[in-house]
Amino acid sequence: MSQNMKRSIVLIPSLEPDERLTVYVRELNRYKAFHIVVVDDGSGKEYGHIFRELEREGCTVLHHGKNQGKGCALKTGYQYIKENLSGCSSVITADSDGQHMAEDVYRLAMAAGDCPDGLWLGVRDFKKAGVPPKSLIGNRITSLVFAGLYGNYIPDTQTGLRAFGPKLMDQMLNIKGDRFEYETQVLISCIRSKVPVRTIPIETVYEKGNEGTHFHALWDSLSVMKVVVSGFMKFFSVSLVSTVIDMAVAWVLFDLLRTVMEGQDFLRIMAATAAARCMSMSFNYVMNKNFVFQKGRDKGHGLARYLVLSGVNMLLSAAGVYMLHQMLGLDEKLVKMVCDACLFVFSYHMQQRWVFCL
């Protein structure tokens, strides 16, 4: 039976919890500002007494018959909140392993309630003593790579303490990902759709060396990193195929047009180059729109912006090669490789943040 909630909803995905979760819920209940939804992600019968205790504490407890992953557990909770707890001021996700202080949850809820249009992150300070090396190294590497590819430096990309307003619920439900990589997909989706990503500092808590976490240091880190770089690798692959198409079509047309444009080598080369570039750019645009950035619907703005960006890239490439060759006396071919490599990264950022943004 649905009910309207004016309070914030705290959503806690949980797998094989211990008594710390019950203590944590009691701490949250002291604020009298939350309705708590816990998703049992296939913990098994031996953990049933903990979830029954949580229900006695006033929590709504949802169950998965078997473990489906953190991303699935979050989306199960989101769907329930959407259908049964409409009207909440914000939704906060928190981990069940004791890492998030109740006070920080309350602070994040207040921030999201004041500015519900964005995604709020509670970020930890990894410079503090006691942080496990695997957490420190993993987060540093992920943050740096993420900043390089998406233009946003987020000091704690793997934080599970997050908050957003109810208007973002449908977007959260439609984001792909079943396990820990889902949270990285959320960041990428918000950045590409221009949802503001804001942060507030929180306490850094690692009880017993963080032994309660179900995050696998190697395999889950690789899964997260795969998500971070997958978009760029798709972009690189499409660009590589586009280059092959451009060269192959140009080479074929050089020979085919020779018989009909005999003695007009300049026009023949220009015609072949233009035709090849049109074909390769058409392929590149369609693949980037539908495969790389997955923006199937386009009212024409994306194509217009893509053409503008292509023209700007060509001008910047030509100007860069000319200036560096003239001023520094560098080889034109070498300079072009360097310029085009820089423009390749520039093009990736512009396409995801301007050409194919919502």
* 111 Cβ contact partners less than 8 Å away, ≥ 6 residues apart: 120, 163, 198, 200
Label residue 309 by pLDDT band (50, 70, 90). Answer: very high
Considering the domain boundaries, does residue 97 fall inside one? yes
Tokens, residue 210: 């963080």
Of 28, 161, 15, 3, whose CA–CA distance to 95 is shortest?
A: 161
Per the confidence metrics, is the pTM higher than 0.85? Answer: no
Are residue 39 and residue 178 in the same domain, yes or no?
yes
C-alpha distances out from residue 94 to 22, 151, 357, Å: 14, 26, 29
Q: In what order do the strands lie in the sheet with 162-164?
A: 60-64, 34-41, 8-14, 91-93, 162-164, 119-123, 197-201
Mean pLDDT of the region 108-121 = 91
How many other C-beta atoms are found inside a 10 Å radius of the C-beta of residue 326? Answer: 9
Give the pLDDT of residue 127.
67
Tell me how far apart the alpha carbons of residues 327 and 148 are, in angstroms, rounded to a whole number. 29
Tell me how far apart the alpha carbons of residues 165 and 240 are, in angstroms, rounded to a whole number. 40
Q: Chain-wide mean pLDDT for the chain? A: 85
Phi, psi of 34 (to 5 degrees): -130, 150
Mean pLDDT of the region 288-296 = 81
Label residue 296 by pLDDT band (50, 70, 90). Answer: low
Q: In this predicted structure, which of 22-36, 129-143, 294-308 has the lowest mean pLDDT? A: 129-143
Give the pLDDT of residue 114.
85
Mean pLDDT of the region 6-11 = 86
Give the pLDDT of residue 5.
43
**Is residue 201 within a helix (H) or strand (E), and if so which, with residue range?**
strand 197-201
Q: Which of 185, 217, 249 is the last residue of a domain?
A: 217
Q: In this predicted structure, which of 123-127, 206-210, 256-260 has the lowest mean pLDDT? A: 206-210
Residue 131 scores a pLDDT above 90: no
Are residue 324 and residue 176 in the same domain, yes or no?
no
Higher pLDDT, 2 or 56: 56
Give the pLDDT of residue 200.
93
Query: How many separate domains does the chain show?
Result: 2
Label residue 232 by pLDDT band (50, 70, 90). Answer: confident
Q: Which of 194, 217, 240 is the last residue of a domain?
A: 217
Q: In this predicted structure, which of 85-89, 185-189, 254-258, 261-265 has the lowest mean pLDDT? A: 261-265
Are residue 131 and residue 173 in the same domain, yes or no?
yes
Give the pLDDT of residue 128.
61
Are residue 19 and residue 137 in the same domain, yes or no?
yes
Are residue 205 and residue 263 in the same domain, yes or no?
no
Are residue 126 and residue 185 in the same domain, yes or no?
yes
Of 187, 175, 168, 181, whose CA–CA distance to 75 is shortest?
A: 175
Q: Which of 177, 194, 217 is the last residue of a domain?
A: 217
DSSP string, 223-271: HHHHHHHHHHHHHHHHHHHHHHHHHHHHHHHHHHTTTTSTT-HHHHHHH
Give the pLDDT of residue 11.
96
Domain of residue 326 covers 231-355
Are residue 77 and residue 41 in the same domain, yes or no?
yes
Tell me how far apart the alpha carbons of residues 231 and 85 are, in angstroms, rounded to a whole number. 35
The answer to whether residues 142 and 187 touch, using CB atoms and an 8 Å cutoff, is no
The answer to whether residues 54 and 96 touch, using CB atoms and an 8 Å cutoff, is no
Residue 299 scores a pLDDT above 70: no
Considering the domain boundaries, does residue 1 fall inside one? no
Give the pLDDT of residue 221.
61
pLDDT, one tens digit per residue, over 42-84 is: 999 999 999 999 999 999 999 999 999 999 999 999 999 999 9
DSSP 71: H
Are residue 242 and residue 211 in the same domain, yes or no?
no
pLDDT, one tens digit per residue, over 132-165 is: 666 666 677 788 888 888 888 988 888 889 999 9
Considering the domain boundaries, does residue 224 fall inside one? no
Give the pLDDT of residue 163.
96
C-alpha distances out from residue 215 to 157, 183, 236, 252, 329, Å: 14, 13, 30, 53, 53
Considering the domain boundaries, does residue 270 fall inside one? yes
* 52 Cβ contact partners less than 8 Å away, ≥ 6 residues apart: none
Are residue 24 and residue 76 in the same domain, yes or no?
yes
Give the pLDDT of residue 4.
40
